[in-house]
Amino acid sequence: MLKPRLVQNFMDEHVSRSPARTAVVDDQASLSYGTLDELSNQLAHCLVAHGLKRQDRVAFSMQRSMHCLTAILGILKADAVYVSLDPKTTDLRRSSILAECRPRAIICDRSTLKQFDLAASAQAGMMIIVLDPEQSPANSSETHSIGWDEIVNCSCHRPDCLNQDDDLAYIMFTSCSTGHPKGVMISHRNIYSYIDWAVACFGLGPADRILCTAPFHFDMSTFDVYAALKAGGTLCIANDMMTLFPEKLVLFIEEQEITVWKGVSSLLMYLVRTGVIGPERMPTLGTIMFGGEPLATRYLQQWMQTYPDKRFVNAYGPTEATGVSLYHMVDRIPSSVKVKIPIGKPCTDTEVFLLKEDMSLAVPGEVGELCISGPCLSKGYLNDPLKTAEAFIESGPGNSGRQRYYRTGDLVMQSDDGTYVYLSRKDNQVKIMGYRVDLGEVEHALLTIDGVDDAVVLVAEDAQSGLKELIAYYESACGLVPGQVVAELKMHVPGYMLPKRLQSVEKIPRNDRGKIDRQRIFDDNVLKEAG
């Protein structure tokens, strides 16, 4: 029987050959491959000793540090499935995710421990594990939590493995128009296929130092974590402050001698606008991948003019397809700011095609909805077979013989040379600062606020920065002012979902079918500010 291909095994070769090599570093400390292996083994044994079973879910909510990798690997080595929580999200959203995935355990650190009711968690049968060497030793009978001392007293040897290739590795929750996040289920096979391609395509090896700026609850981090482990390189985790202050991020890139960065497009744009890039800066950085949302062409022009010798890659892929489905090596500076940067061609073992509204295949020059098929395709949405069946189609169109495919909702056109170009979203999902945001989810949250009678959320481009931003209009017969609405909204959605502008209006236009007429709002500017 073939040995299962599990993603925690990416590091095995490097643990045995080069245990002293640095596996992960943050702004405070680092872990070698040998130490990371032992700590994650100990965490796995601790989880199993407390009753964790194969494919049980384990949530983790931690500040960005090297021990996020300890948590991920420890969960996987215990045959379990990890669910990364945003430590800055609202209590409501966190509770919604926990209720949906029903974790057997929650891993936190000393700063996020306060997010959880320990007694209630224990009563519900959930372990609370504080993965933090600086946290005071926990007395489980009093605190209902498991502390660092208990973890490091467990065995350093790898626990026996029961998982198979098609078992889940993680569940990642994304925005949904119902107001409830949906959990995308990703298997070991999905990640293995993606990372095998990525390491080979970009020629990654032990000398590479991969920058991680993506949050661990965001699918862009999948490349960062597993490409580093597969290549035997070093994962360099930037803290939240670095993404807010570009000079700190550039200094970190220089100090850590970063060679590869897969960053969200808006962050690359931010670095240009703040003036921190220059020919003499970041000399070791050789490959820059960008994605999560379209990168404004004028910013790519400035990056490529500043760094003519660096490799720039536009990487496209939905959460439902694990990571990158298409990519485009940008071999020349775009000739005009009006030129759209292609999303390129499919990765190895990935098939893509475009469906027109009549379900026929689009040919080059025609616009269609991008569909993806291949081993990177998710198993679907947690606890939602209906939504899974709507998005994941079991057979290809016509007599093509295609296997199961995913409808992305992205409108794309194929050029005559075979490359694909992204045009827009088919529905109301947008990308803001790299995060997927469903406008309907923000509208749903607005309509839960007492005094908000109707609401619409639009996305527009800021004239100065070129960044996308959310704009919300609402009706309020009782006269709620924007400040009151924002205060309430903060309790329902994460910060990146908060509209940049809110305006109370007399009437939101609707069409004859009772639906909000978004296009009319843009075209005719029909909204009038409430008196």
pLDDT in tens, 271-323: 998 999 999 999 999 999 999 888 889 889 999 999 999 999 999 999 999 99
Note whether 206 and 230 are within 8 A (CB): no
Instruction: Examine the pLDDT at 348 and tell me if it is beyond 80.
Output: yes
Which of 473, 478, 458, 445 has its CA nearest to residue 529? 473
Predicted local confidence at residue 44, as pLDDT: 98
SS3 sequence, 415-480? CCCCCEEEEEECCCEEEECCEEEEHHHHHHHHCCCCCCCEEEEEEEECCCCCCEEEEEEEECCCCC
The lowest-confidence range among 29-38, 78-87, 170-179 is 170-179
Identify the CATH homologous superfamily for domain 437-524: ANL, C-terminal domain (3.30.300.30)
CA 300, distance to chain mean position in Å, is: 22
Predicted local confidence at residue 461, as pLDDT: 82
Residue 514: pLDDT band with limits 50, 70, 90: very low
Predicted local confidence at residue 22, as pLDDT: 98
pLDDT in tens, 415-437: 999 999 998 778 777 888 888 78
How many helices (H) and strands (E) are present in the chain, helices listed first? 17, 27
Predicted local confidence at residue 113, as pLDDT: 93
Instruction: Examine the pLDDT at 519 and tell me if it is beyond 80.
Output: no
The stretch 103-129 carries a mean pLDDT of: 88
CA distance 294 to 423: 9
CA distance 386 to 264: 31
Predicted local confidence at residue 399, as pLDDT: 47
The stretch 333-358 carries a mean pLDDT of: 93
Instruction: Examine the pLDDT at 82 and tell me if it is beyond 70.
Output: yes
More confident residue, 169 or 138: 169
Note whether 310 and 253 are within 8 A (CB): no
Domain covering 7-237 in this structure, CATH number? 3.40.50.12780
The stretch 346-351 carries a mean pLDDT of: 95
Instruction: Examine the pLDDT at 68 and tell me if it is beyond 70.
Output: yes
Predicted local confidence at residue 224, as pLDDT: 98
pLDDT in tens, 28-51: 999 999 999 999 999 999 999 999
Predicted local confidence at residue 263, as pLDDT: 94
Instruction: Examine the pLDDT at 210 and tell me if it is beyond 90.
Output: yes
How many percent of the chain have pLDDT more than 90?
Answer: 71
Predicted local confidence at residue 395, as pLDDT: 80
Residue length of the chain? 531
More confident residue, 125 or 272: 272
Domain boundaries, the chain: 7-237, 437-524
Note whether 246 and 272 are within 8 A (CB): no
CA distance 165 to 319: 19
The lowest-confidence range among 150-164, 183-197, 252-266, 387-401 is 387-401
Predicted local confidence at residue 396, as pLDDT: 72
pLDDT in tens, 212-269: 999 999 999 999 999 999 999 999 999 999 988 999 999 999 999 999 999 998 899 8
pLDDT in tens, 456-479: 899 888 877 778 899 999 989 899
- pTM for the structure as a whole: 0.85
